[in-house]
Amino acid sequence: MKGALRSAFFIALKDMKAYYFKPPNISWGMLFPLVFILAFYLRSPIDFAHLIPGLLSLSLLFSTTSMEAIVITFERMTGALERLMLYPVSVTTILLGKISGGACFGITVTVVFLLCLIIMFPLHLKNPLLFLASVVISSFTFSTLGAFVSVSVKQVFEAQTLANLFRFPMIFLSGVFIPVNSLPSIIKPIAYIMPLTYSIDSIKVSFGYEPQIMHPLLSLLVLTVFAFIFLELSVKILKSRMS
């Protein structure tokens, strides 16, 4: 177990060194959420503060999934992922390393955004511990989603396209702009099967809002279950593809 975690750490470290500042990561991982934030701020500066928890969650989603789309798909294309299989590490360890790298990138991007927003707006983080837990768990969950998408396709652009298929409905249905409780009852079930919904809800609570779906700790538990499901699926798909 210790050896597996150590290997996952080195894989994550290698990914950070090798890929983090590639142009697609910067554009999809940082610029896209930044543009979103600016667009909504310019549209309505007064109401903007209410959108901040959702936008922070959105930046986590985009930065982590974009990272995975690049790293995993690119390495499958070049044969570097097959090379990782030659080392005495399991497929789960390899993916954990990749996912951790993506999650770290997401956390970094989000913390940078948060600091910028704190400077610009009078933000009050009511529960920093819950905020931290939400950001870390959301990052890992979204990163596993990115891994699942990336192992399912062959090319980087296919990974981005497939990721958008998951990401864009989440933008509109997970409570970033419209609270989930205000959604028509026919659409609500869709919101409940989206991990972003639980991420936004727990982050909102950390900013002092009332929970809309469930207790934030339960939201974090649901996110963790999503992470396990995506990881397990990714491991199965990657194993069958590599074999």
Partner 1 sequence: MVKAHSIDDAVTVKELRKSYNTFSALDGISFSIRKGEVFGLLGPNGAGKTTTIKILSGISMPASGTAKILGYDVVNNPVMVKQNIGVVPETSNLYPELTCTDNLIFAGRLYGISTEKAKTGAKELLHIFGLEEKRNVLFGRLSSGMKRRLTVAASLIHDPPVLFLDEPTTGLDVMSARALREVIQSLKDRGITILLTSHYIEEADRLCDRIAIIVKGKIITIDTPEALKKSVRTEKAVDVKISPYTPFIEKEFSKMSTAVKYEKREEMFRFFIEDLDTFMSEFSAFIKGQSLSIESINTVSPSLEDAFVEITGLRREIMIQEKGGGK
Binding residues (CB under 8 A) for partner 1: these are 3, 6-7, 10-11, 14, 17-19, 78-80, 82-90, 242-243
Nearer Cβ to partner 1, position 13 or 218? 13
Q: How far is the CB of 85 from partner 1 (least distance, A)?
A: 4
Q: Helices 91-120 & 48-78, crossing angle to 10 degrees?
A: 150
Q: How far is the CB of 149 from partner 1 (least distance, A)?
A: 22
Nearer Cβ to partner 1, position 3 or 208? 3
Neighbours of 177 (CB within 10 A): 14
Nearer Cβ to partner 1, position 98 or 204? 98
Q: How far is the CB of 104 from partner 1 (least distance, A)?
A: 17
DSSP annotation of 182: G
Q: Tokens 């930046």 identify what position? A: 59
Nearer Cβ to partner 1, position 87 or 157? 87
What DSSP assignment string belongs to 123-150?
---S-HHHHHHHHHHHHHHHHHHHHHHH
* Among the listed residues 226, 76, 67, the one whose alpha carbon sits nearest the alpha carbon of residue 151: 76
Q: How far is the CB of 59 from partner 1 (least distance, A)?
A: 25
